[in-house]
Structure 1
Amino acid sequence: MRHRWIGATALACAAAAGAQGTRKPVAGIADLPRHAYPYRGDVALLITRPDLLDPIAATARADLDATLAGYAITDRTTLREMHENLGWLAMIRRDYPDVRREVALARGYADKPLDRLSLGLTPLAYADAVATGAVPGTPAFAAAFARAYAAALQPLPWSVYGDRATQNVGRDGAAGAGFFGGLFARRYQPQADGGGALDDEAVLDLVFATVIVRDFVPLKTQLVAADRAYLASHRAPKPDLWAAREVTLGAADRLTPVTVAIWDGGFDTALFPGRVWFNPREQAGTRDLDGDGWAGDVHGVGLDENGARVADELIAPSPAIAADQAALIDRWVGFEELGEGDATPAAERAQAFFTTGSVAEIGTFFDQSRWVGGWFHGTHVAGIVARGDPAVRMMAVRRNFEWHQPPRRPTEAIARAYAQGYQDEVAFMRAAGVRVANMSWTVDIKTEYEDQLAANGVPPAERAAEAARLFAIEAQGLADAIRSAPDILFVCAAGNSNNSAAFQGSVPAAFDFPNVVTVAAVGQDGVPTSFTTLGPSVDIAANGFRVESLMPGGRHVRTSGTSMATPNVVNAAAKLLAVRPSLTIAQLRALLLDTATPGDGGVRLLNAQAAMARLRPAPAPIPALSSTSRHSAGE
Structure 2
Amino acid sequence: MKPVLSPLALALCAALSLSALPAVHAQTAPGSAGKQVITSAEQLPRRTVKLDKLPSYYLTAPKAEVLVLAANLEANAKADLDKFDIKDAATLRAYYSTLLSLAQFRGDWAALPPLVEKLRALQDKPGPRATTGVMAGILADRAAGNRDAAWVQAEVARRYGALNWQDVADSVRGFKGQLELLNPALVKGSFEQQVDVMARNMNLDVPEGVIGAIVGARLQEEQIVPIRAAVIAGLQSVIDRNTQVAAKLDLWTPRTFAIPANAKAKEVGVAIWDSGVDLSLFKTLPGRGVAFDEFSRPSKALLRPLGEAEPRWPQLKQLVKGSMDLRAALDTEDARKLKQTVAGLKAEQSKSFQEDMALVSLYTHGTHVAGIAVDGNPFARVFAASMLWSVKSEPLKPSEEQSRRTAQAYTDAVAAFKANGVRVVNMSWRYGASVYEGALAWHNIGKDAEERKQIARKLFAIERDALRAAIASAPDILFVAGSGNEDNSADFAEYIPAGFELPNLITVGAVDKAGEETSFSTFGKTVVVHANGFEVDSFLPGGDRVKFSGTSMASPQVANLAAKLIALKPELTVAQVKDAILKGAERRGKVNLVNPRRSAELVGIKL
Asked if Structure 1 and Structure 2 have the same fold, meaning a TM-score greater than 0.5 normalized by the shorter chain, the answer is yes
Q: Secondary structure at the match of 1:278?
A: strand
**Contact conserved, 2:568 with 2:605, CA < 8 A, in 1?**
no
Separation in 2, partners of 1:563, 1:419: 22
Separation in 1, partners of 2:22, 2:382: 34
Q: Who is 1:583 aligned against?
A: 572
**Contact conserved, 2:155 with 2:234, CA < 8 A, in 1?**
no
Q: CA 1:456 to 1:209, structure 2 compared with 1: closer, same or farther past 3 Å?
A: same
Q: Secondary structure at the match of 1:261?
A: strand
Q: Who is 1:523 aligned against?
A: 512
Q: CA 1:434 to 1:535, structure 2 compared with 1: closer, same or farther past 3 Å?
A: same
| Deviations 1:348-395, CA, capped at 9 Å, x for gaps | 111112223112223321123222222211001011112111010110
Q: Secondary structure at the match of 1:262?
A: strand
Separation in 2, partners of 1:76, 1:130: 31
Q: CA 1:28 to 1:527, structure 2 compared with 1: closer, same or farther past 3 Å?
A: same
**1:561 Cα shift?**
0.7
Mapped pair 1:271 → 2:289: no
Q: Secondary structure at the match of 1:539?
A: strand
TM-align CA RMSD: 2.3
Q: Who is 1:105 aligned against?
A: 118
| Deviations 1:270-322, CA, capped at 9 Å, x for gaps | 112xx21113xxxxxxxxxxxxxxxxxxx111222211111211222454x45
Q: Who is 2:211 aligned against?
A: 203
**Contact conserved, 1:6 with 1:201, CA < 8 A, in 2?**
no
Q: Secondary structure at the match of 1:252?
A: coil
Q: Who is 1:85 aligned against?
A: 98
1:242 corresponds, among 213, 238, 252, to 252
**1:22 Cα shift?**
4.5
Separation in 1, partners of 2:82, 2:162: 36
Q: Who is 1:125 aligned against?
A: 138
1:511 corresponds, among 497, 500, 513, to 500
Separation in 1, partners of 2:413, 2:593: 30
**Contact conserved, 1:191 with 1:197, CA < 8 A, in 2?**
no
Q: CA 1:191 to 1:561, structure 2 compared with 1: closer, same or farther past 3 Å?
A: same
Mapped pair 1:603 → 2:586: no
**Residue type of the alignment partner of 1:86:** L
**1:116 Cα shift?**
1.8
Does 1 or 2 have the higher relative contact order (CA < 8 Å, sep 6+)?
2
Separation in 2, partners of 1:518, 1:364: 34
Q: Who is 2:403 aligned against?
A: 415
Q: Secondary structure at the match of 2:479?
A: strand
2:51 corresponds, among 39, 59, 65, to 39
**Contact conserved, 2:482 with 2:507, CA < 8 A, in 1?**
yes
Mapped pair 1:453 → 2:453: no
Separation in 2, partners of 1:308, 1:174: 37
**1:419 Cα shift?**
1.0
Mean Cα deviation higher: 95-104 or 185-194: 185-194
Q: Who is 2:181 aligned against?
A: 174
Mapped pair 1:146 → 2:153: yes
| Deviations 1:391-442, CA, capped at 9 Å, x for gaps | 1011001123332221221111111111121111111111212111100000
| Deviations 1:28-48, CA, capped at 9 Å, x for gaps | 111111112223655444344
Separation in 2, partners of 1:318, 1:445: 30
**1:129 Cα shift?**
2.6
Matched ranges for 1:317-466 at <5 A: 317-319=306-308, 321-322=309-310, 324-447=312-435, 449-458=436-445, 459-466=448-455
Q: Who is 2:88 aligned against?
A: 75
**Residue type of the alignment partner of 1:46:** Y
Separation in 2, partners of 1:380, 1:186: 31
Matched ranges for 1:536-615 at <5 A: 536-600=525-589, 602-615=590-603
Q: Structure 2: state its 5+ residue gaps.
A: 1-13, 26-31
Q: Who is 2:464 aligned against?
A: 475
**Residue type of the alignment partner of 1:200:** E
Separation in 1, partners of 2:601, 2:588: 20
Q: Secondary structure at the match of 2:582?
A: helix
Sequence identity percentage: 32
**Residue type of the alignment partner of 1:24:** Q
**Residue type of the alignment partner of 1:261:** A
Q: Secondary structure at the match of 1:490?
A: strand
Q: CA 1:185 to 1:152, structure 2 compared with 1: closer, same or farther past 3 Å?
A: farther
**Residue type of the alignment partner of 1:350:** L
**1:183 Cα shift?**
5.0
| Deviations 1:452-497, CA, capped at 9 Å, x for gaps | 1122223413311111111111111111111111111111010011
Separation in 2, partners of 1:186, 1:549: 35
Q: Secondary structure at the match of 1:581?
A: coil
Separation in 1, partners of 2:335, 2:193: 23
**1:146 Cα shift?**
3.1
2:197 corresponds, among 174, 190, 203, to 190
Q: Secondary structure at the match of 2:285?
A: coil
**1:124 Cα shift?**
1.7
Separation in 1, partners of 2:43, 2:415: 34
